[in-house]
Amino acid sequence: MGRPKKDKAFCKEHRVTVRFKEVQYSIIEEYAKQLGVPVAEYIRQQVINGNVAINYSVVADIPQLQKLTDELHAIGNNLNQIARYFNMGGLHSIAIRQEINECIAEIMKMRKAVMDMAGDFNGNSQTPVE
């Protein structure tokens, strides 16, 4: 007894044979692997949709980045408290103005540190495959 036949709605009726050089096929195979689909399905999507986007998730576990994130969080809390004070009708003083300027200076220093750490990690994390 053989395998049961598929329903006609799920059957593909036409076959197209395409030949690739080894390098071309390995590139296609790699893209399909990154998408988690068979090579035939990748080629179908490529032909029908024009291109298939592969999105890469970039995860960085850098202690310095965590430290900067914590510092930015603390500065954000300080700025929120200052904003709340002013929104509730608080008086403007030289001390508060100095604290605001210090927070802004800290933010600018951290921004520079983040840019220095980023270095060559510039680019689009969602580059479509062409």
Instruction: Express each pLDDT in 11-41 by its tens digit.
Output: 778 888 889 899 989 988 988 888 888 999 8
Find the domain containing 70 and state its range: 63-119
What are the CA-CA distances from residue 118 to residues 33, 54, 73, 112 (Å)?
29, 23, 19, 10
The two structure tokens encoding residue 126: 């969602």
When the pLDDT of each residue in the chain is averaged and rounded to a whole number, the result is 78
Task: Return d(Cα 75, Cα 21) in angstroms, integer.
Answer: 57
Tell whether pTM > 0.85. Answer: no
Does 116 have pLDDT greater than 70?
yes
Does 5 have pLDDT greater than 70?
yes
Residue 88 and residue 40 share a domain: no
DSSP 57: P
What's the number of domains the chain is made of? Answer: 2
- Angle between helix 22-35 and 39-49 (nearest 10): 90
Residue 71 and residue 30 share a domain: no
Residue 112 and residue 67 share a domain: yes
